[in-house]
């Protein structure tokens, strides 16, 4: 007879998920109620309000999609892109490439702005792309590229899109709650994130937010949204605050409890304090890594505090080191993706994982696995 699954206790310092505090796990273990229960409806409203705080937006249409960040990404593209729409897509890593795939699958016409992996999106290239394609309707870019640890200048990119009358779609999966993000101030029209990174909740929910301009674009569509589940015109009937909610899908009740608790904890800490904590832990980790002679991939001016990408030293079997960290130290760090596969490690400092004891433990474990590095 199959026994119950008991997971090993790990320290999660990869590109996600991050460590989930016991307080959030306890919240998720509370009694399940119905997804149309008045008490749950009240919880939904609280989640929406706290997400507006986290995104720094007044957008009424701010809520968690009942699926991981990839579904939040698809929701933005399938609702805002119609067949034939020209979309400028910035690609400087894996997740910019996923945006490109979404444009293609919605029938959009992509205009690709490429930058080197590890570099931020170049605003000058984006401006040139708009000059060459003044009919482009959307600019899509990744704020915090998880595959490299590079952070792009979202404010500058948002302003360029506004100059040319285009909407913006921004991936902030790794930035929400961990680094400054001002959706309204930067003029961003659609954003998507994930519950499992700097919010330190479990995977499976994707916070999103849409501006009034984005909503107007959706309402003016001449073609039906290709996804039934992600069609905002239908989802709104469940998430709207006024009037009786209509049944759309059965929301993941207990994970919603967890997200609510994660956002309560973010409110208690203070958003700017959370940003400062991630920055401080990054500086401590950086000092230790560089003291060991390890080199960062990303230039300091564009370096993402919560995702530290470092080059694997020459002659080192990167997979063997990660395996040893996991088996001997119960510590998870990430491998490189795409063009960076086999070349880098990605060390996450996200949410509950961004604390001094984790930094110290990670550095100690790496030193044990790389004995030839300076102490």
Query: pLDDT tens digit string along 242-265?
Result: 556 777 888 899 999 999 999 999
**pLDDT band with cut points at 50, 70 and 90 for residue 36:** confident
**pLDDT band with cut points at 50, 70 and 90 for residue 375:** low
pLDDT on residue 360:
98
CA distance 124 to 157: 9
Q: What is the distance in angstroms between the CA of the first residue and the CA of the last residue of the chain? A: 49
**pLDDT (average), residues 121-128:** 98
What is the tally of helices (H) and strands (E) in the chain?
13, 14
Sheet holding 190-192, edge to edge: 61-65, 206-210, 190-192, 167-171, 138-142, 86-91, 109-114
pLDDT on residue 241:
55
**pLDDT band with cut points at 50, 70 and 90 for residue 233:** confident
Query: pLDDT tens digit string along 150-205?
Result: 999 999 999 999 999 999 999 999 999 999 999 999 999 999 999 999 999 999 99
**Which residues, 6 or more positions from 265, have their beta carbon under 8 angstroms from its beta carbon?**
21, 23, 24, 200
Asked whether the beta carbons of 211 and 54 are under 8 A apart, the reply is no
Both tokens assigned to 60: 């009424």
* CA angle (26, 31, 37) in 5-degree steps: 125
**Which residues, 6 or more positions from 280, have their beta carbon under 8 angstroms from its beta carbon?**
none
Asked whether the beta carbons of 181 and 55 are under 8 A apart, the reply is yes
């Amino acid at each position: 007879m199959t026994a119950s699954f008991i997971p090993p206790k790990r320290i999660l310092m990869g590109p996600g998920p991050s460590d989930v505090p016991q307080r959030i796990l306890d919240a998720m273990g509370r009694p399940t109620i119905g997804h149309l229960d008045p008490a749950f409806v009240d919880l939904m409203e609280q989640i929406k309000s706290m997400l507006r705080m986290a995104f720094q937006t007044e957008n009424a249409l701010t809520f968690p999609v009942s699926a991981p960040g990839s579904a939040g990404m698809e929701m933005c593209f399938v609702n805002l892109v119609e067949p034939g729409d020209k979309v400028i897509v910035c690609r400087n890593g894996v997740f910019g490439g996923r945006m490109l795939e979404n444009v293609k699958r919605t029938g959009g016409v992509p205009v690709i702005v490429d930058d080197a992996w590890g570099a931020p999106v170049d605003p000058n290239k984006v401006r040139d792309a708009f000059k060459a394609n003044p009919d482009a309707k959307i600019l899509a870019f990744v704020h915090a590229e998880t595959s490299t640890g590079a952070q792009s200048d979202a404010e500058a990119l948002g302003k360029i899109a506004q100059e040319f009358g285009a909407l913006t779609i921004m991936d902030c999966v790794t930035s929400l709650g961990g680094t400054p993000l001002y959706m309204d101030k930067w003029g961003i029209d659609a954003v998507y994130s994930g519950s499992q990174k700097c919010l330190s909740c479990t995977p499976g929910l994707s916070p999103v937010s849409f501006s009034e301009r984005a909503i107007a674009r959706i309402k003016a569509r001449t073609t039906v949204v290709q996804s039934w589940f992600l069609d905002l015109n239908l989802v709104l009937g469940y998430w709207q605050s006024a009037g009786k909610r209509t049944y759309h899908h059965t929301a993941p009740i207990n994970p919603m409890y967890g997200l609510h608790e994660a956002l309560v904890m973010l409110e208690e800490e203070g958003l700017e304090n959370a940003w400062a904590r991630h920055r401080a832990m990054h500086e401590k980790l950086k000092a230790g890594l560089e003291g060991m002679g390890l080199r960062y991939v990303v230039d300091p001016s564009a370096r993402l505090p919560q995702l530290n990408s470092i080059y694997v030293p020459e002659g080192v079997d990167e997979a063997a080191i990660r395996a040893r960290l996991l088996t001997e130290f119960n510590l998870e760090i990430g491998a490189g993706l795409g063009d960076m596969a086999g070349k880098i490690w990605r060390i996450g400092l996200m949410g509950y994982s961004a604390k001094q004891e984790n930094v110290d433990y990670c550095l100690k474990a790496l030193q044990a696995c790389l004995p030839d590095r300076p102490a």
